[in-house]
Amino acid sequence: MAKVKTKFVCQECGYETPKWMGKCPSCNNWNTFVEEVATKLTSKHTGIGHASATKPESITAVESKEEARIATDMPELNRVLGGGIVAGSLVLIGGDPGIGKSTLLLQVSDQIAKKDAKVLYISGEESTRQTKLRADRLGITADNLYVLSETNMQLISSQIDQLEPNFIVIDSIQTIFKEEVTSAPGSVSQVRECTSELMRIAKTKHVPIFIVGHVTKEGAIAGPRLLEHMVDAVLYFEGERHHTFRILRGVKNRFGSTHEMGIFEMKEEGLKEVLNPSEIFLEERSQGAAGSTVVASMEGTRPVLVEIQSLISPTSFGQARRMATGIDHNRVPLLMAVLEKRVGLLMQNQDAYVKVAGGVKLDEPAIDLAVAVSIASSFKNKVSRPDDVLIGEVGLTGEIRRVSRIEQRVQEAAKLGFKRAIIPENNLDGWTVPSSIEVIGVKSVQEALEIAIDE
């Protein structure tokens, strides 16, 4: 009798080793190795090689045409996807439990099914009756929306062959398994093989497939990183469970720009779009409060105006605290060091708390100037003008550096009634300034503070 060969696979990164190890040498995580039976899969089971019968051809001879897209009734989702759902694409959606991933995909399935297209919604976590209860709450009534509760990949493939749907949803990929793979559902091997099979179905049948992925406690999609490399687009559904606003963010898209953002509001009847997020983020802004500034940040191709709040207070301990919510926490001590060295504000014994209002996460350098002015405003206890918007990157020598897409940022500020925009001086040329807003160019943080606070 042949000896059964086993291997140990890291459940975080997919690293394989013939013996158990406490720490993965690839991703440096502890206790992530699980024993699996080493199974040699044939090419028909791997799902790879769907174009093996074709021959290489010159890139100049390949026919070039625009990919057909399926437009949903959600412009925010269409924006994140680059203009709609591309036929034959494989899209991964990740997010925290209960954030609204299944709700969003069920609503999208209903919209597509009402356009005379067959939609197959496959749930590995809920029965068909449970899915029906959620559909009744969301007001879903499409006849062409078919629901299947199944986790076996072979049975799912046969049902797809019989029904021939135009749109497929898999909820979720961690519950689907293949019988040829001996490991448990959700393991690295199962996720890799099932995703590969779904990719083969999407490419050969030219049908778009959306798959839901669970996330780890750190916020990354669970399973191997290979999962994100295999799919055509990766979307993250973000937001606080105790707040109604949800942010759909694209981090990978082979058919459009990345870092696009769509904003939704969770209501009793489902997700509703927020077409003007800047008004939402600024509607509860306090007037006449020190430490509050507004920045025009770019999320993909969309400018969004967000409030930056800072609170500077004397420390009660030996070491001052630096806390940040919504921005990189390392940016706060960096900007405070610039203010102390280049402007002369003594902040060594001050606690600093910086927050981006509304639950948005900002990671672009153009928010530096607004954060710095907000910190200085709270430290001096002087109110900055409420109708100012600040845009600019701050260098370590205190200079204000050029940022991208300045025209779109200023136009968004003018549309919402702001009267002044303080921007880098190098951004003044090459575009038309709206007549309803005054644009002031600054070279340094010192100059920006004199204009924004000390008037």
The contacts of residue 159 (CB under 8 Å, 6+ apart) are: 120, 148, 150
For residue 13 the two structure tokens come to 């990164």
Residue 412 host element (H or E)? helix 406-415
Q: Which residues are annotated as a binding site?
A: 95-102
User: Which DSSP string do the residues of 347-399 spell out, in sequence order?
Assistant: -TTEEEEEEETTS----SGGGHHHHHHHHHHHHHT-PPPTTEEE--EEPTTSB
State how far the Cα of 371 lies from the Cα of 377, in Å rounded to an integer. Answer: 10
Is residue 35 within 8 Å of residue 19, measured between CB atoms?
no
Residue 323 host element (H or E)? strand 322-325
Tell me the one-letter amino acid at 324.
Answer: A
Q: Which residues are annotated as a binding site for ATP?
A: 95-102
Exposed (0-12), middle (13-18) or buried (19+): which is 142, by Cβ within 10 Å? middle
149, β-bridge pairs: 123
State how far the Cα of 373 lies from the Cα of 308, in Å rounded to an integer. Answer: 10
Exposed (0-12), middle (13-18) or buried (19+): which is 253, by Cβ within 10 Å? buried
